[in-house]
Amino acid sequence: MAVKAVKRKKKKDDTSSIYGFWKHVNEFSPIYIGKSVSAKKKFREEITSFTTEVNSSNLPVLINENFVKPYFKEKEMTVKFTGDDNGTYGNWHVKVILAENIVKIDPVGLFVFSNKFKNPSGYIKPSDKENFPKVRLLNFLKETGKLPEQYFMFLGVLQEIVFANQIFAVENKEAFPNKDNGEYFSLLWAVKQFEEFYQKIQVRSLRSDYGIIWHESEWIDAPK
C-alpha cells in the first residue's frame, strides 16, 4: 500500500509561528470585517478553528511567559486566543480579565488594532491641531508604526495590562481623564517594556533597528 507523503507546513504558514499567525490573520480578517452579519456567522467557524489551532501551539505560552506573568507575579495567568462569548470577532483586541486570571486575544481585533499604526498622522483634521493630546498620540502611533506588524500583538497585550493594573496612573495622574492621554501613556509604557525585552533577546536597540525617533521630553506640553 502506498504511503502518502505528509506535506509539512512552511514556517510562514505555520500558525504556531508569529509570522504564520499574522499571515493567516491578514488573510481572513479583511474578509470577515467586510461580510454581512449573516455571512459572518458562517465564516467565523473557520476563525474559531484557527484560534483552536493557535491555542494548541506554543504561542500562548510564549506570550504568557514573556509579556503577562512578569506583571502578575501573584496570579497564575493564562493566555487564550478567542472572540466574544457569543462567537463574534473584532469587537476588541485584548482583554485582561483579572477575575478569571486570563488574557484573551481576538485575532480580528488584533488586525484592527495593528491598522491604527498605518499612517495615523493622516487622520489629523484641521480642528485637531489645537488638540495637543490627540496630535501627540497620532504622531506616536506613526513612529511606532515603523515596527514590524508581528510586534503589535505584544504591544497590544502590554497596553491592556497597563489599563488592568492602572500602572501609568502612578507616573502621570492626568492620564486617565483624557482618552487620548490614556492611550498615549499606556502605549508609551508598552513600547518601553517591549524595548527592554527586545534589548535582552536581540542585544540591540529597538529604536535604532527600526529608526524610531521619539523624545518624550519634547511631547510633555503643547508648544506655546
- Per DSSP, the residues of 157-206 read HHHHHHHHHTTHHHH-TTSSSSHHHHHHHHHHHHHHHHHHHHHHHHSS-H
What is the rounded distance in angstroms from the CA atom of residue 55 to the CA atom of residue 61? 9
Burial track 12-28 (b if 16+ CB lie within 10 A, e otherwise): eebbebbebbbbbbeeb
Residue at 157 is within a domain? yes
Domain boundary among 93, 112, 131: 112
pLDDT tens digits, one per residue of 51-76? 999 999 999 999 999 999 999 988 99
Structural domain contains residue 2: no
Residue 7 inside a domain? The answer is no
Centre a 10 Å sphere on the Cβ of residue 79 and count the other Cβ atoms it contains.
21
Residue 111 to residue 183: CA distance in whole angstroms? 18
Same domain for 30 and 101, yes or no, is yes
Tell me the backbone φ, ψ of residue 81, rounded to 5 degrees. -90, 125
Mean pLDDT of 111-138: 83
H or E segment at 95? strand 94-97
Q: Residue 33's closest CA among 84, 90, 117?
A: 90
Same domain, 209 and 138: yes
Structural domain includes residue 13: no
What does the DSSP 8-state code read for residue 71?
Answer: G
Among 112, 135, 165, where does a domain finish? 112
| Contact of 119 with 142, CB cutoff 8 Å | yes
Is it the case that residue 170 has pLDDT exceeding 50? no
Same-domain pairing of 73 and 98: yes
Instruction: Provide the β-strand partners of residue 79.
Output: 103
Does 103 share its domain with 189?
no
What predicted TM-score, i.e. pTM, was given to this entire model? 0.87
Q: Which residue has better confidence, 77 or 45? A: 77
Query: What's the mean pLDDT in 129-133?
Result: 85
The residue range of the domain holding 167 is 116-219
pLDDT at 10: 52
Q: Are residues 126 and 213 in the same domain?
A: yes
Domain end (from 112, 147, 173) = 112
Same-domain status, 61 and 108: yes
Q: Structurally, how many domains does the chain consist of?
A: 2
Residue 195, classified by CB atoms within 10 Å of its CB into exposed (0-12), middle (13-18) or buried (19+), is middle
| Residue 64 shares a structural domain with residue 140 | no
Query: Which H or E run includes 66?
Result: none
Between 219 and 110, where is the model more confident? 110
Both 84 and 31 in one domain: the answer is yes
Q: Is the pLDDT of residue 5 over 50?
A: no
* Residue 67: DSSP 8-state: I
34 shares its domain with 83: yes
